[in-house]
Structure 1
Amino acid sequence: MKNTFLKYLILLLGLFIGCMEEDKLNLQVFETSASGNKYTELIDWSGDQSDATIVINPEDTFQVITGIGGSFTESSAYLLNKLSPENKSKILEAYFGDAGARYSLTRTHINSCDFSLSNYAYVEEGDTALATFSIEEDRDDVIPMIKDAMDVSSDGFKIISSPWTAPPWMKDNNSWVGGKLLNEHYSTWARYFSKYIEAYNAEGIDIWGVTFENEPLGNGSNWESMHYAPEEMVDFVQNYLGPQLEKDGHETKIFGYDQNRGEELIDWAEKMYEDEASSRYFDGTAVHWYASTFKWYGEALQKVHQMSPEKYLIETEGCVDAEVPKWKDDDWYWSKEATDWGWDWAPEEQKGDHPKYVPVYRYARDMIGCLNNWVDGWVDWNMVLDRQGGPNWFKNWCVAPVIVDPDQDEVYFTPLYYVMKHFSRHIRPGAVKIGIEISNDELMATAVKNPDGTIAVVVLNMSDNDKGFTINLDGKASTVSIQKKALQSILINQ
């Protein structure tokens, strides 16, 4: 009798434990932390206490994700070509390979930009017929880097191309810097875009999208730029660029604005989406983060989405810093010593928008903030820079996730690389941003449901204390522990 009762008790206990296990989520947890984790998969991630609850609601759906990635610049491509084949391959695999960040959305420049070795255009001066058009300048570095990345990437990636300026002779100041496109060259410049798309297509490279101009408000007349007013942008796209690409059979997307988030963004979007005629050729809005890398301007992003809910909203450029990058010093990337682009030039009343700030947090906070406010794509700036923060013909130094010393053939993957990997690897094209509620404002989080059915959650803990949080999804729950000053990506397999 005793044996029968014992067997019955063991059976009940087993069933109880089984039910408990069935109520737990099937998780994979990856962490990058100030203490040294670098996209490390955690084997023991469960926590004893819960300081917060994260509730995920897959039925509450938002934008479809276009992609996440970085930019092909002449500077980055030039540096890759100076490295050994082994290190060049290591970097490309890290960004595009199956075990790497799996970048899915990228950007490059039409003509030269500040992160080029010199000023250049694709036609000879005065050639309005564009008979001399050639992308020969890109064949040494940019095109090979893109092709090598294509060879490495299993899923492929989209490319957005942006001009910093038209050739100087098309402009009212005949200069690489500043000035406006002359009215008589609106048609010439539109055909120039089409020629560029055709030339890259001939190389086997599909240009998925173009922005009509990088930073049309200007950059303080420092490096390549060309100015537009919102009305001039609409005129160029509505009456020249859109019809030209349509006539030539290009299905390339066209993005407007392509500058900072904030009040200016609203003004430009209102002109773009004023009516059916003005908005016809705009497939979406492109934005940068330089108005403040501390704020993500959720209200402005929400307003733009409301104006054009069916169109794209993509962050096409963001980077730190306004100084030379630190070499093999992970602690610096977790410290408040980094400066914001406006740290030096912002007027006193705007200083609060440009504080010294932790680079890891800048990236992670901005991507979470953007994703939670209808942004469907996020593109970092240079993928690779040298220890000076260049090369850059204007000496406009900044930081990239990967820093190299080509003379010593050395590579440094900064913590920013691992931050990018947390997002780009697990938030895939075609994913749907889903509802998420978090009970503790010391944590930030976002969530998507991927095309393969997995749910990816990214959690940021900027506090000085380890935290535990309970994830609730469809009646199941698991408690996860996150270190202080850490970023996690959590993959839920359903």
Structure 2
Amino acid sequence: MKWLRLPEPARIGLAVLLASLPGLAGASATGQVQAWVTTSDHRLALAPVGPAELVAGTPEAGGVRIVVEPRQRHQSMVGFGASLTDASAWLIRHRLDEAQRDALLRELFGREDGGLGLGFTRLTIGASDFSRHHYSLDDPPDGRPDPELRHFSLEPNRDDVIPVARAMLAINPQLKIMASPWSAPAWMKDNGSLVQGRLLPQYYDAFSRYLLRYVDAMAAEGVPVFALTVQNEPDFEPGDYPGMRLNAAQRARLVGDHLGPMIEARGGTPLLFDWDHNWDKPEEPLAVLRDPAAGRHIDAVAWHCYGGDPSAQAPVHAAFPDRDVYMTECSGGDWEPLRSGGLALQTRSALIGSVRNGARGVLFWNLALDENNGPHAGGCDTCRGVVTIDSRTGAVTRTDEYYALAHASRFVRPGAYRIESSGRTGGLDNVAFRNDDGSLVLLVSNDAPGEQAFEVVQDGHAFRASLPGRSIGTWVWTPPAHDAD
């Protein structure tokens, strides 16, 4: 088989030459396979390369092979996206003019003209480290307890988060929004501070009402929240931004005795996700799911990527197969192994790995940060947004996380099923999907330094392709009609 060689810097093999395909001499083409590639240095950036031809027959054994099996369906997909943090919303609202803002949001959340069609986002209930100051949504002026929530207010979000979220929804009305608190109001905690401390049991009821008050208040503003977690990273107490330790036993009592019954009385909405933390402690969500009072109220387990491995999702899901799986935070940034692994590593772990282990949705962290990785009040100063907005000019730079999301969200539609495909082979990782229109999508990551050739086989059809070193690619094709079922 011969390979198409494009001139540098766009060299990548993608041709399928039927006469020399091993075992398929004289075979006829049955369709075209479209392909897009991004390299870690962005010399190729969501670049169309191809098309290749899908041919009838199966190549002889040999070489790296990815087998795609559309009839073996797994989870349906909700979507891909990133968090609309306070920092992201403020930059989009106040450092872009109207035309720049509209263009960026349409590129991210629309599907026309090659838009990414992002369909999933996360809001913070009160401040996170990526806020310009620390606050909750119930901060009484005298600091005294307010169990009746008389001082609850969305005022801190009215000038940035709410209008930007509305604009996102106007572009993509099917956008799914979840929300997570970084801390309960200070008066609910044992140290009287948004930073560190624990939620006092006497305020479990008030905190549950606080979370649902947020959901209802945002809905009244035209921003529907479909799912909650009760605490971002509940096994961590940051020292310089809002946070709160809330272990499995505490979450079980909060959910089982208070928040869960309140949601049940509302008809089961919003959905409730547990954990919202790293892969390295699967015993934490398992303990809540196994609690007889709390477990029945948990709809899904949410995971972060900063510790452990995405394979941790699978045994938790196997133990509770009727509960969904989501990846709800993974930041890009300037640290190892991301510094050396780059685009291919981020795609392999946070996106391909999480989805192959059951995730219905994938969220990166900040949707947008500025040229100084901010604004932020404490926390991470090396985190990277999906896009970087120059706070002086409004110029937008697209990061590795942008391209990782683009290679999935632009082609995988909400409601698509993940389908069976071969595991890691020859240094390549992949995940495959089937859209409602019958089209198949294959996302492949090559984290090796050199170019890797491979063949894709699906139901008696095949095509051949290759990826440059440290790159990702997406292949899209529609099987012949008799293979569609």
Normalising by structure 2, we get a TM-score of: 0.86
Q: Is residue 104 of structure 1 aligned with residue 122 of structure 2?
A: no
1:21 maps to 28
Q: Quote the sequence identity (%).
A: 29
Aligned residues of 1:114 and 1:393 also touching (Cα < 8 A): yes
1:175 matched residue in structure 2: 193
Residue by residue, what CA displacement relative to the aligned partner does 1:22-61 show, whole Å, maximum 9, x if unpaired? 4x443111111236111111235579x9842111111222
For residues 244 and 446 of structure 1, do their structure 2 counterparts lie closer, same or farther at Cα, with a shift above 3 Å needed? same
Deviation, 1:229, is 1.7
Which residue identity lines up with residue 362 of structure 1 in the other structure? L
Question: Which letter maps to 1:42?
Answer: V
Q: Does residue 66 of structure 2 align to residue 54 of structure 1?
A: yes
Q: Which amino acid aligns with 1:412?
A: T
1:482 aligns with 2:478: no
User: Which 5+ residue runs of structure 1 have no aligned equivalent?
Assistant: 1-12, 322-337, 341-353
For residue 101 of structure 2, what is the aligned residue in structure 1?
Answer: 88
Work out whether residues 271 and 278 of structure 1, in 8 Å CA contact, stay in contact via their aligned partners in 2.
no
Residues 227, 272 of structure 2: 8 Å contact kept = yes
2:69 counterpart SS class: strand
* 2:322 alignment partner in structure 1: 310
**TM superposition shift of 1:463:** 2.4
Distance 1:438 1:415 in 2: 23
Letter in 1 for 2:367: M
Q: Deviations over 1:185-207 (max 9, x none)?
A: 11111111111111011111110
Of 277-286 and 424-433, the range deviating more from structure 2: 424-433
- Counterpart of 2:43 in structure 1 is 36
Contact 1:231 1:271 in 2 (8 A): yes
In the alignment, the residues of structure 2 paired with residue 225 and residue 439 of structure 1 have an alpha-carbon distance, to the nearest angstrom, of 37
Please, which of 453, 467, 481 is the counterpart of residue 438 of structure 2? 453
Indicate the RMSD between aligned Cα atoms, in angstroms. 2.3
C-alpha contact 1:25 1:477 (8 A) present in aligned 2: no
Q: Partner of 1:106: helix, strand, or coil? A: strand
2:343 aligned with 1:360, yes or no? yes
Matched, 1:145 2:164: yes
Q: 1:372 aligns with which of 356, 368, 381?
A: 356
- Aligned equivalent of 2:313: 301
Question: TM-score, length-normalised on structure 1?
Answer: 0.85
Q: Following the alignment from structure 1 to structure 2, what is the Cα–Cα distance between the partners of residues 146 and 317?
A: 18
Partner of 1:417: 402
> Residues of 2 paired with 1:219 and 1:59: CA distance?
45
Task: Report the Cα distance in structure 2 between the residues aligned to 1:74 and 1:439, rounded to whole angstroms.
Answer: 38
Alignment-derived partner of residue 130 in structure 2: 115
SS of corresponding position for 1:358? helix
Cα 1:137–1:414 change in 2 (3 A) is same
Structure 1 residue 423: Cα displacement: 1.2
Contact 2:328 2:363 in 1 (8 A): yes
Query: Is the contact made by 1:94 and 1:101 (CA closer than 8 Å) also made in structure 2?
Result: yes
2-structure distance, mates of 1:256, 1:457: 30
Is 1:25–1:478's contact at 8 Å kept on the other side of the alignment?
Answer: no
Displacement of 1:257 in angstroms is 0.8
Q: Does structure 1 residue 427 correspond to structure 2 residue 412?
A: yes
What aligned pairs does 1:53-452 form with structure 2 within 5 A after superposition? Answer: 53-81=65-93, 82-98=95-111, 99-123=114-138, 124=140, 125=143, 126-153=145-172, 156-249=174-267, 251-262=269-280, 264-265=281-282, 267-274=283-290, 276-291=292-307, 296-298=309-311, 300-321=312-333, 338-340=334-336, 356-366=339-349, 367-394=351-378, 396-397=380-381, 398-437=383-422, 440-452=425-437
Which structure: greater helix fraction?
Answer: 1
